[in-house]
Amino acid sequence: MNYLQRPATGGQTIVCSRCVMDTSDPAISFDENGVCSRCHAADIQLQRVRLSPEESERRLAEAAAEISRAKTKDGYDSIVGLSGGVDSSYTALLAHKLGLRPLAVHLDNGWDSETAVSNIRGVAERCGIDLVTLVIDWPEFRDLQRAFFKAGVIDIELLTDQAIVATMFRLCREHGCRYILSGTNVATEHGVPGEWAWNKQDLTNIRAIHRQFGSIPLRTFPTMGLWSTIFQRYMGLGPKFVELLNMANYRKLDAIEELKRETGWRDYGGKHYESIFTKFYQAYILPTKFGVDKRRAHLSALIRNGEIQRNEAVAALKKPLYDPDELRRDKEFIIKKLGFTETEFDQMMREPPVPHDRYRSDRPIREILKRVARLTFYRGS
């Protein structure tokens, strides 16, 4: 066969011959050489961001010139989210080197690690960037997270992602900024199965789950729903997202070394592990309840980006997701902070996963809009 197909595994796990993605990805398929569909898709996606040094320099300079012209009365030309992770930290450092003057915003959802706080402070101080930290109302956020646990859905983290985007748009309105510097990048984020997450702007789904399982009214939690996202982000009525890393031939491992050298940045040992909860979510909740090891997607992206060899990724996957003592401490801390008993929590981990669209969602509307967009495109071509 010379086409991609989903193999009949008979319960046997099949691993890509090029990366380390396997049949835990429900949508994966393989060609006659055992190369997965994620790799084939990446070959196309990565071409967009693999630039010559001259082209990269030109695009970054043009973007910086455009953004600089939009400086507000407060002296800022953009907003940059700063979590303390690699991508956001390097975006802030790159903005500084380009001569930009962003306002950095950190959203404290109650789960920051000490290392994250140190990294955020170090990057902001080294780059001379003003930093504002906005603290989410903890009782509200805890109630939301508890509701998502009770609902049995996979993407508990969409709550934080929803709040971050809504907060950055609000700050843009308050300060008159026309640009948001995003750490989103193709190089290290391509190839994550959509089935391992949910649409981050599905406010309908958040509210439906909270109505059924929550108990505290949401009065201050930052939100931004489907229509607001469409009008502000995709129809040009709000600030423009600028993905600097996609212009910079971004390489994560090189970025880590540069951040360490220039800002004293410290590594967390895993993607998004700057958050205590995110580490526990990715290294315990996902594999335990959902059979998902996100390291496969993250390591596979690094393989395709030419940063590591496949044998290095295979060796990394053989390492335990968690040190047993650290897991015990983190589990005890997180369960207590969320207000669950260990018996309640373990029972939720044993219950079968529930699809997000078991609860009300804006997915049907999004599907209609996609079909309309495709029809419009075909008629206009």
Instruction: Confirm if 182 and 172 have CB atoms less than 8 A apart.
Output: no
| Cα distance between residue 16 and residue 19, in whole Å | 5
Which token pair is 68? 């600089």
**Sign of the dihedral defined by the CA atoms of residues 296, 298, 300, 302, in that order:** negative
Q: Which amino acid is at 15?
A: V
Beta strands in the chain (DSSP E): 78-81, 102-108, 131-135, 179-181, 240-242
Q: What is the pLDDT of residues 306-332, one digit of tens each?
A: 999 999 999 999 999 999 999 999 999
Q: Which amino acid is at 325?
A: D
Q: Walk me through the domains of the chain, giving residue ranges and CATH numbers.
A: 52-294+319-381 (3.40.50.620)
Instruction: Confirm if 21 and 296 have CB atoms less than 8 A apart.
Output: yes
Find the mean pLDDT for residues 347-364.
96
Give the residue from 61, 70, 133 showing the smallest Cα distance to 99.
61
Which token pair is 163? 């709040």
Q: What is the DSSP string of 281-294?
A: IIIIIIIIII---T
Q: What is the pLDDT of residues 218-249, one digit of tens each?
A: 999 999 988 888 888 777 788 999 999 999 99
Q: Which amino acid is at 162?
A: Q
Task: State the pTM of this model.
Answer: 0.91
Residue 11 has a pLDDT of 67
